[in-house]
């Protein structure tokens, strides 16, 4: 039998009400939420009853999603489900690193709060946004981005889907060119041009935060957004900071995990964004959301 891979979702997957059911049903999830709310009062309220507008603010999105994801992973373990490998999409990589034991829950939460603050600061300095480009080959998307001074292909999600970051005043024309080429550009529910040069200062500042943190050896193999390979004795601080201003190599990450023996993936997030991507990467793979696994009461 192959290994189970935990996949922690990223910014844009947040939604009002996330985690309230987990808190009521699983004591391990409740303990996690209580811990994080004690560090950052209001986190639970924002998760359980915050508005979409509140949750879209990066300084809120990141700690709230982190809290949900660590609580959901704790609920899975309470139910007897344990990972053999893990990866996290963008902000989800900080949650994954914490769940894998590179950081204590307290340290991981402190770091993700600071990450959200730094990225919001850079978002406020430059009016940039993101969009998922659908139905076009990678090389076509790269070529279209190359026609603009500040539009970048940043997240290589799955076949036929690349996320781009760009200055907002260039994204309208870019989306029109995508449509003319036979594709579609779907705006993302984020406020900022993440994983691009717009975030270079945030990456540098976050590296300093990471180098001041206490880092453990990790209990579970964790695959890095930056390289699509495991943190095999590599520089955790460099990999986690550089991913803020570098592309997320998600499709290759999943393919590498599968090649290394992962045959079942569980999405740790409020929705099913990563599960849907998985089906496009390999339609035969077993991919389920955390809620589907918990509702069944089975490992997979």
Residues 281 and 226 in one domain: yes
- C-alpha 299: how far from its chain's center? 23
- Going from the C-alpha of 231 to that of each of 73, 100, 236, the distances in angstroms are 20, 11, 7
**Dist. CA 138–CA 249, nearest whole Å:** 12
Q: What is the dihedral of CA 215, 220, 226, 228, to 10 degrees?
A: 160
Which position among 9, 90, 196, 246 bears the catalytic label?
A: 90
90 is catalytic: yes
The pLDDT of residue 299 is: 42
Residues 117 and 154 in one domain: no
The tens-digit pLDDT sequence of the chain (300 residues) is 589 999 999 988 899 999 999 999 999 999 999 999 999 999 999 999 999 999 989 999 999 999 999 999 999 999 999 999 999 999 999 999 999 999 999 999 999 999 999 999 999 998 999 999 999 999 999 999 999 999 999 999 999 999 999 999 999 999 999 999 999 999 987 888 999 999 999 999 999 999 999 999 899 999 999 999 999 766 899 999 999 999 999 999 999 999 999 999 999 999 999 999 999 999 888 999 999 999 875 443
Q: Is the domain of 13 the same as that of 134?
A: no
Same domain, residue pair 216 and 179: no
pLDDT of residue 234: 65
- Considering the domain architecture, whether residues 9 and 80 belong to the same structural domain is answered as yes
**248: containing domain:** 3-124+196-296
* Residues 140 and 76 both lie in one domain: no
> Quick check: 136 and 169 in contact, CB under 8 A?
no
Q: Are residues 146 and 288 in the same domain?
A: no
104 counts as catalytic:
no
End-to-end CA distance of the chain: 12
Q: Do residue 116 and residue 159 come from a single domain?
A: no
Catalytic residue among 123, 129, 165, 195: 195
Identify the bridge partners of residue 7 per DSSP, sorted by sequence position.
87, 267
Q: Do both 102 and 55 map to the same domain?
A: yes
Among 187, 207, 224, identify where a domain stops: 187
Give residue for tokens 């600061």. 121
187, 206, 225: which is the final residue of a domain?
187
Query: Which CATH number does the domain housing residue 81 bear?
Result: 3.40.366.10
pLDDT at residue 1 in the model: 59
Verify that 209 and 60 share a domain, yes or no. Answer: yes
| Chosen domain end from 142, 167, 187 | 187
Query: At 180, which CATH number?
Result: 3.30.70.250
- Asked whether residue 154 falls in the same domain as residue 202, the answer is no
Q: Which residues are within 8 A (CB) of 92 and not within 5 positions of it... i.e. 6 or more apart?
A: 7, 8, 9, 10, 65, 69, 268, 269
Dist. CA 33–CA 254, nearest whole Å: 29
98 shares its domain with 228: yes
Structural domain count, the chain: 2
């Amino acid at each position: 039998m192959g290994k189970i891979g935990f996949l922690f979702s990223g910014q844009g997957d947040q939604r009002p009400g996330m985690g309230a059911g987990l808190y009521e049903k699983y004591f391990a999830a409740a303990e996690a939420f209580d811990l994080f709310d004690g560090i950052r009062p209001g986190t639970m309220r924002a998760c359980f009853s915050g508005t979409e507008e509140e949750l879209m603010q990066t300084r809120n999105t990141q700690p709230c999603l982190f809290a949900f994801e660590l609580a959901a992973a704790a609920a899975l373990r309470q139910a007897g489900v344990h990972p053999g490998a893990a990866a996290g999409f963008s902000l989800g990589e900080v949650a994954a690193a914490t769940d894998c034991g590179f950081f204590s829950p307290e340290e991981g939460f402190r770091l993700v709060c600071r990450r959200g603050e730094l990225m919001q600061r850079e978002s406020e300095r430059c009016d940039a946004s993101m969009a998922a480009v659908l139905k076009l080959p990678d090389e076509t998307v790269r070529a279209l981005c190359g026609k603009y001074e500040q539009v970048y292909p940043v997240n290589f999600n799955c076949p036929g889907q690349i996320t781009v970051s760009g200055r907002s005043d260039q994204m309208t024309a870019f989306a029109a060119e995508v449509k003319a080429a036979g594709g579609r550009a779907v705006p993302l529910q984020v406020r900022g041009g993440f994983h691009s040069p717009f975030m270079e200062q945030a990456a540098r500042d976050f590296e300093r935060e990471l180098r001041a943190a206490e880092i453990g050896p990790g209990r579970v193999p964790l695959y890095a957004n930056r390289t699509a390979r495991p943190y095999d004795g590599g520089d955790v601080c460099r990999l986690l900071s550089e991913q803020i201003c570098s592309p997320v190599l998600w499709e290759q990450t999943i393919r590498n995990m599968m090649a290394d023996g992962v045959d079942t993936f569980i999405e740790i997030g409020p929705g099913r964004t990563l599960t849907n991507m998985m089906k496009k990467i390999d339609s035969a793979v077993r991919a389920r959301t955390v809620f589907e696994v918990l509702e069944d009461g089975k490992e997979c």
